[in-house]
Amino acid sequence: MRALVTGAAGFLGSHLCDRLIKEGHSVVGMDNFITGSPDNIAHLAGNSKFLFIRHDVANFIFVPGKIDAVMHFASPASPNPTSPYGYTNLPIQTMKAGALGTHNTLGVARAHQARYLLASTSEIYGDPLEHPQKETYWGHVDPIGVRSMYDEAKRFAEALTMTYHHYHNINTSIVRIFNTYGTRMRLDDGRVVPNFIQQALRGEPLTVYGDGSQTRSFCYVDDLIEGIYRLLISNEHLPVNIGNPAEISILEFAETINRVVGNPAGIIKQPDLRLGDDPQRRRPDITRAKEVLDWEPKIALEVGLQRTIPYFREKLGAA
């Protein structure tokens, strides 16, 4: 199989490229480096199974040669307004990636009659009124809120993907990705995992905003990529949640990182500076993933953190 992966230099996209190549497939990676990093794919330079094209998916896409699969992963994804890589600071680019990028990548899939996989997000559920979140839940989203450039871009992307499936008979699938962590996350993207790990490695107290009772469910990147790959080679067309259903409060998560790193500095609480509409609870219902993909996460949180922390330690040492 020869696959086009957009967002190939991003956190998830680069791991996906590695997995596809490991399985014997060829990859055409595409990225404009607005949030991705060349470092994430540097190890693929010179690999005969990897071709890189620097390109903005909001513009017409041309890829030489036959394409058997298209995987659209290009988009800013951090909600942190203090990060230059957060989607609130890249609002137009975020909406273009979700709308024009989805349209253009679906066009490639249609031209080649290729398998198409859209990277969607748990954010399409908004601040959920249902817990845990099933794929049948329609969501609780403000279409003009402070997060809408990301939430609505992804919701539109899902609608367009299903329209191409029904109207043009494209073989599509949609993965709704929940919080994921691992190597190749940007140190400066402002999300909770890199923020906490860096503070802990510096011996600083971890900063928790609000009372820390808000929850998340953290999935290690290898588990997530396994689920995505299984979805790619499946015949499932409806959205599938991929994430870890082990729910943990942000305060407990901070305590876990301090324990794994061995940081005695503790935790400090600050006034809640999170972006408006921030979900108070987040936990995937993965029943569909178990049934149609025979998938569930295998890697425990502390094990995944032990695999992730050395990467951050090395990056901090080089900074």
Rounded Cα distance between 80 and 176, Å, is 20
DSSP string, 37-80: -GGGGGGGTT-TTEEEEE--TTS----SS--SEEEE--S--B--
Rounded Cα distance between 319 and 305, Å, is 21
> Does the CA dihedral 298-175-28-25 come out positive or negative?
positive
Write out the two tokens for 8.
């190939």
Q: Which of 85, 87, 125, 150 is catalytic?
A: 150
Q: What kind and span of H or E run contains 181?
A: strand 180-181
Question: Which 8-state DSSP code applies to residue 123?
Answer: G
Burial of 164 (0-12, 13-18, 19+ CB in 10 A): buried
Q: Is 138 within 8 Å of 148 (Cβ atoms)?
A: no
Q: Is 224 within 8 Å of 190 (Cβ atoms)?
A: no
Going from the C-alpha of 252 to that of each of 206, 216, 267, the distances in angstroms are 11, 10, 10
- Angle, CA 173 vertex, CA 171 and CA 179 arms, to 5°: 165
Does 125 participate in catalysis according to the annotation? no
Rounded Cα distance between 152 and 140, Å, is 11
Write out the two tokens for 314.
């090395």
Closest among 2, 134, 137 to 70, alpha carbons compared: 2
Q: Is 286 within 8 Å of 217 (Cβ atoms)?
A: no
Residues annotated as catalytic are 150
